[in-house]
Amino acid sequence: MPALPVPVLTIGLLILSNVFMTFAWYGHLKFKAAPLALVILVSWGIAFFEYTLQVPANRWGHGTFTAAQLKTIQEVITLSVFSLFSWLWLGERLTWQHGLGFTLIAAGAALVFQARG
């Protein structure tokens, strides 16, 4: 078992895995002239690294977090990473509607952590 506290390790690995997956899924949008087959192969290659981080994060995190909590953490991280990616990599503007929508999703995520089993 790793030396870092499980929540720190789990969330850290999930953040890193999300960076890889966001580039795998959306990074190619800046390179629309690239052949689709090449884009798919490169995306698979990037996704491999996402899996090498995501799987251990879930393995080590499960027990400290429930599976539903792990998925919820993942989704909140996904929106956060994607927001930064969309703005910094794709140059897309985030609007107040994005902010409000993401806030409502975060509120729903907070409910998952309030659930009593």
Residue 79 belongs to a domain: yes
d(CA 94, CA 91): 9
Could you read off the pLDDT of 52-111 as tens digits, one per residue? 999 999 999 999 999 999 999 999 999 999 999 999 999 999 999 999 998 999 898 888
Residue 22 has pLDDT above 80, yes or no: yes
Look up the domain containing 94 and give its range. 6-114
Instruction: Provide the domain count of the chain.
Output: 1
Residue 1 belongs to a domain: no
d(CA 29, CA 51): 22
Could you read off the pLDDT of 50-69 as tens digits, one per residue? 999 999 999 999 999 999 99
CB under 8 Å to 92, separation ≥6 — which residues?
Answer: 86
pLDDT, position 113: 86
Residue 102 belongs to a domain: yes
Tokens of 91: 């140059």
Residue 39 belongs to a domain: yes
